[in-house]
Chain A
Amino acid sequence: MGERAGTAVSLGAVTTFLGLVVALPLAALGWRSASDGPHGFWTAVSSPGAVAALELTLGASLVVALINAVLGTVTAWVLVRDDFRGRALVDAIVDLPFALPTIVAGLTLLALYGPRSPIGVDVAYTRAAIVLALLFVTLPFVVRTVQPVLQELDPELEQVAWSLGASQAVTFRRVILPNILPGILSGVALAFAKAVGEFGSLVVITGNIPLRTEVASVYIFGRVESGSTTSAAAVAVVLLALSFVLLLSIGAVRRYASRHDRA
């Protein structure tokens, strides 16, 4: 199979699938958001509640993505390079935030870190609760995108560095990090996107106070419930557009990092 033909076929398959599953719904959404005209769109998007919700969601999602970048990498490292009793068990439960319905996530976090917290930590109904719930639902991402890269990483590279006298920190920074950075950034992009779209766990634990702890997904839900589907679609479209820009940026950083590294 020629190179060109292969590209065409695989691209064709990918585009068709993406088109059917992703592009069509997004197009319908965009269409709906425009039903009130540009003025209606702008009014919907610039209302104080919408702006506050968008800021809150994007800000919290970025914070969570960055925390994941660090702690997720540490976790992946420990799961691949370290060995301790129960490591396999820990490895097995990393994906569980995905398997649990969001309401269970919300309720258990509320029980542990809310008014009746057994450890005396009460962050429920504050902005901190947003970060907490998002950390739970995005936990698997960076861990699982870095793990396979670490597993494929040639240990010889590190051994060579050590034998040349590099310290562990330098080895990490110069040898390991550049190789796992694309993996980290993949996970970061996923974590960010997921955080932006999270609803079920947040709606139980944040208190949904408009302009203070109401995230974008709850604001949009409120709009739909009030019959303002068009303004809901408008805010959703803006949220998606801003997320898309951020995802493009993360992708650009990723490309820069990989290109920079190729010796």
Chain B
Amino acid sequence: MPRLGLRSLALAYLAAILAGPLALACYRALEHGVSPAWRALSAPDTIHAFELTLVVTAVAVPLNTVFGVICALAVVRRRFPGKGVLNAFIDLPLALSPVVVGLALFLLYGRGGWFGSWLSGHGVQVLFALPALVLATIFVSLPFVAREVVPVLREIGDEQEQAARTLGASGWQTFWRVTLPSIRWAVVYGVVLTTARSLGEYGAVAVVSGRLQGRTETATLRVQERYEGFDLPGAYAISIVLALLAVLVLLAMTLVRPREGGV
């Protein structure tokens, strides 16, 4: 039966690529008992790191979500020249490796960079402070919401929206009452992806953070620090907590979205 075949294929793939590493990470976190994991998680620097990660996520995700929805609407519902270029452009940030993101941000906001002297002259700290962490995080998670919403917008077509407009609904009413409910799943998945990425981003954030202990060390930087200190259970424990946070966000979003009969 094709259904069983597909299911086995998908599950085997997920088991090999995803579940295996996850299970191993859980095992490694707890293989020496709960106390090494707990010690790493309850250290003040770790708690601060989690707080910082959550703050960065709380700023980056809404910004990216709003941008993503507006962008998707513009790309699908509007006509303008260069649409294909804009589309490809949105995906491009993903193709930059962390060292390149860091390099680019240094070239802009670092000492001797394009805005470096202006920023230091006005006492504004971008690099090695929260703004750089947020910028780097937004950069690496930019396309997710837009990419989730675009195919769905195309799929559902705009008949309902046009109907609403002819009935006298304003642009905002049309969006809130007609468009948004039909793209809710896409927005949910986009937000979940963006959140997960913000929680787990290491490379780009590491370069621009300055790694100031107790100040700009995010949770992923803490994982690296535990790894360097030969504290593998601690490193894995922090990672598992990040994974659990991502799952929590998924559950929360699944509950928040307006319920609908069936799927």
Contact = CB atoms under 8 A, between A and B. Distances in A.
Interface of A: 1, 6-7, 10-11, 13-14, 17-18, 21-22, 24-26, 28-29, 31-32, 71, 74-75, 77-80, 82, 84, 90, 92-105, 107-109, 111-112, 132, 135-136, 139-140, 144-145, 147-149, 151-153, 168, 179-180, 182-183, 186-187, 189-190, 193-194, 196-200, 216-217, 220-221, 224, 229, 232-233, 236, 239-240, 243-244, 247-248, 251-252, 255, 258
B113 A148 contact: no
Given A21-B139, A29-B104, A75-B14, A190 B94 contact: yes
A199 to B, nearest CB: 4
Interface in B67-107: 67, 70-71, 73-74, 78-80, 84-101, 103-105, 107
B167 interface: no
A96 B247 contact: yes
Nearest to B147: A186
Interface string B29-51: 00000000000000000000000
Contact of B245 (A99, A183, A224): A99
Contacts of B70: 10, 13-14
B88 A244 contact: yes
A96 B246 contact: yes
A101 B25 CA distance: 11
Contact of B197 (A90, A98, A243): A98
Nearest to A193: B94
Contacts of B180: none
Given A75-B10, A152-B185, A232-B103, A25 B108 contact: yes
Interface of B: 2-3, 6-7, 9-11, 13-14, 17-22, 24-25, 28, 67, 70-71, 73-74, 78-80, 84-101, 103-105, 107-108, 113-114, 135, 138-139, 142-144, 147-148, 150-152, 154-156, 170-171, 182-183, 185-186, 188-189, 192-193, 196-197, 199-200, 202-203, 220, 223-224, 227, 235-236, 239, 242-243, 245-247, 250-251, 263
Contacts of A100: 21-22, 25, 200, 239, 242-243
A34 B133 CA distance: 27
A260 B30 CA distance: 54
A45 B13 CA distance: 37
A111 B24 contact: yes
A129 to B, nearest CB: 13
Contact of A190 (B19, B147, B183, B200): B147
Contact of B97 (A7, A10, A197, A258): A197
A109 B18 CA distance: 9
Contact of A194 (B13, B89, B94): B94
Contacts of B193: 95, 98, 140, 144
A200 B13 CA distance: 22
A7 B103 CA distance: 34
A220 B100 CA distance: 8
Contacts of A26: 92, 104
B242 A186 contact: no
B51 to A, nearest CB: 17
Given A21-B142, A200-B203, A229-B103, A98 B246 contact: yes
Given A26-B104, A94-B18, A199 B99 contact: yes
B97 A139 contact: no
A128 B218 CA distance: 32
A32 B107 contact: yes
B155 A197 contact: no
A210 to B, nearest CB: 17
Contacts of B89: 18, 22, 244
